Chain A
Amino acid sequence: MAQADAQMPDTALEPILRVEHLTMRFGGLVAVNELSFEVARGQITALIGPNGAGKTTVFNCITGFYKPTSGRIAMFAGTPQTDAAIDALTNSPNTHAHTANGGVYLLERMADSEISSKAKVARTFQNIRLFTGMTVLENLIVAQHNWLNLASGYSVLGLVGAPSFRKAERQAIDLAVAWLDRIGLTDRADDPAGALPYGDQRRLEIARAMCTGPELLCLDEPAAGLNPRESSELNKLLMSIRDGNGTSLLLIEHDMSVVMEISDHIVVLEYGTKISDGTPDFIKNDPKVIAAYLGVEDEEFDDAEAELEK
Chain B
Amino acid sequence: METIKLIYPVEGGDLIEAGEASSKMKLTLKKLGLPQDIIRKASICMYEGEINMVIHADGGQAEVEVDMNQITIRMIDSGPGIPDVEKAMQEGFSTAGPTARELGFGAGMGLPNMKRYSDDLTIDTTVGKGTTVTVIIKIPQ
A and B physically associate: no
The interface of chain B, by Cβ under 8 A from chain A, is: none
| A interface residues with partner B (beta carbon < 8 Å) | none
